[in-house]
Amino acid sequence: MASPSDTSDADFSSLNPAAADAAINNADGKKYWEGINADVDGMLGGFAHITKVDLQGSRNFLAKFGIGTRSGLRVVSSALEGGAGIGRVTEGLLLDVAENVDVVEPIAKFTAALQGKKGVRQIFNLGLEEWQPAEGAQYDLIWNQWCVGHLTDDQLVAYLGRCKSVLNPGGVIVIKENNSTTGDDIFDPEDSSVTRGDDKFRALFKQAGLRLVKAEIQRGLQTPGGVKLFTVRMYALKPVDGYNHNNSGISMP
């Protein structure tokens, strides 16, 4: 599943893990989400209670890049949220730390309530695989959470390349996603998505010309009855070349 998910949901029968993404059908993924309620529980696969801890973890992660509202941190000018759903992250975090937020989300009913909201600038009702940045758009922060599993490996690399092309100097791209428990990619036919392994993510970032500057596991995602969720990792990425490059070779912000 692209959402936070019980590891027992994983379909390990799913074929050749090396080619798990080949089974993704973007239209099937969108069809699945059309049938999901436009609320936090819908976005989080029934685990709405984890949203507070999740958002706090994200806020702490961004603070490590100097982004935030606390003293000593800065509010950036422009952010993009990819696969934003109802705007749980946009409303719960990005609108606090960015003056303007653009949103990409294929399911129009999810973004309906974001229309006209202060700080929400442009809404693209498109899949990330279809999205092209608007002419002249530049972002300081691009956030993608629990959605890139809907893209094939090639689509993800191409999308990240587009993100890279519109990242301001000093900007950062964040991917926050489930990691598979086995290390192999797992295809889930229910929502036509893959859960990728940590190594696969890192290889795809490299392929997109991005440098991993920080990776952190989201802690504290407790579930009632101790149901075990997939590990959720936050990855912060900057272009290998260009303004963001630090010559020290140290993988730090």
Point out the annotated binding site for S-adenosyl-L-methionine: 83, 88, 145
Could you give the CA distance from residue 72 to residue 86 in angstroms, rounded to a whole number?
30
CA distances 21 to 13, 30, 85, 197, 242, Å, are: 14, 16, 22, 12, 30
Total interface residues for ligand SAM by CB under 6 A: 23
Q: Which residue is nearest to ligand SAM (CB)?
A: 85
Among 127, 171, 197, 239, binds ligand SAM (CB under 6 A): 127
The structure tokens 């019980």 sit at: 6
Instruction: Decide if residue 140 touches ligand SAM (CB under 6 A).
Output: no
Site string for ligand SAM, 71-110 (x = CB under 6 A): ------------xxx--xx---------------xxx--x
Report, in Å, the least distance between residue 243 CB and ligand SAM. Answer: 27
Return the number of the residue (169 or 227) whose C-beta is nearest ligand SAM.
Answer: 227
Which residue type does 184 have?
A: D
Instruction: Decide if residue 43 touches ligand SAM (CB under 6 A).
Output: yes
Could you give the CA distance from residue 11 to residue 27 in angstroms, rounded to a whole number?
20
The structure tokens 């992660």 sit at: 61
Which residue type does 131 have?
A: W
Among 30, 109, 211, 233, binds ligand SAM (CB under 6 A): 30
245 within 8 A of 209, measured Cβ to Cβ: no
Number of helices (H) and strands (E) in the chain: give both, helices first. Answer: 8, 9
The residue ranges that bind ligand SAM (CB under 6 A) are 2-3, 26, 29-30, 33, 43, 83-85, 88-89, 105-107, 110, 127-129, 145-147, 150
